[in-house]
Amino acid sequence: MDYLVYGLLTLTSVVGLAFIVERGIALRWSRVVPPQIEAAVESCQWPEDLPMLRRVCEQNNSPMSRLLLLAADHLHWPIAENADAIQTRARHEIIGLERGLVVLEIIVGIAPLLGLVGTIAGMMTLFGDIGQTGMAEASTRLAKGIAFILNATLMGLLIAIPSLVFWSYYSKKVETIAVEMETLCDEFIRRQYRATGRGH
């Protein structure tokens, strides 16, 4: 039982580390909102600038570029309908950015519990062994057993704490990215509709 718990804790730590690294790469600012896209949005002041924006977006595939291409494709729609379409697509993009965060959240919850299970299982084994061997070897077995038990608790906490830190950091980063994407899209469509005299 002890080794099963340690195996599960090891597996949990490997999965947690994998998702921490994967989300760290996926949520890089330059990958989600490339600086070239931001510059292109600032430069796109008139309808005549749209081909330039499309070209930059197609060259820098990202959640931000996909939202802008959607907005550009629907500029003939009323501004409210275009904004609704962007919001719907943005929710899908945000879900994609949050992918994997739920795994870290689960690890935060289960790692200490697995450590506790290891502690309880270790105590059961320890006291069972002491009952069988008698008190002569009890002190030696007790010292080794307690060390073994505390290792499970410590391992669970050492897995949970970094997972909690990165889960909180990545969740906040997704929130910040969502606000930035919303701001850029809003600026883009308002500027384009105003340029064509349909800004209301």
Q: Which helix (H) or strand (E) holds 184?
A: helix 138-195
φ and ψ at residue 177, rounded to 5 degrees: -60, -40
Who contacts 146 (Cβ-Cβ below 8 Å, separation ≥6)?
A: 126
pLDDT tens column, 89-122: 999 999 999 998 999 999 999 999 998 888 887 7
Distance of alpha carbon 118 from alpha carbon 124, whole angstroms? 10
Q: What is the pTM of this model?
A: 0.86
Please give the average per-residue pLDDT across 129-135, as a whole number: 61
What digits encode the pLDDT tens for the residues 39-60?
A: 999 999 899 999 999 999 999 9
